[in-house]
Structure 1
């Protein structure tokens, strides 16, 4: 599943419509993370860090399941 990070300047009307249309969509708003007012490099650094952690967790879970098989 794709994950999205909506910048504070992204129209919240679009976010609400996307949620109504596809409730399973994974969108996180910068405002919800306490990053409101931060510059783009800070937000992108946060997103990269989270992506690395998520990728590591998914890989470790995959390997655990693979070797337990």
Structure 2
């Protein structure tokens, strides 16, 4: 399972992050305790977890690329 902490940037949306990192939106929201998927803010830290061990984007982020 791949995982890392992501700091939200200005203009990010939860649905865009879910798509980018191939994580279901509801899983991303629930794993971060978000009741409203439309309320994230720049500077907020989110835990991104993927059950897909081949998720190359998360692996690259974990490795600092």
What TM-score comes out, normalization by structure 2 length? Answer: 0.29
Higher helix content, 1 or 2 = 1
Structure with higher RCO (Cα < 8 A, 6+ apart): 2
TM-score between the two structures when normalised by the length of structure 1 = 0.28
* Structure number with higher strand proportion: 2
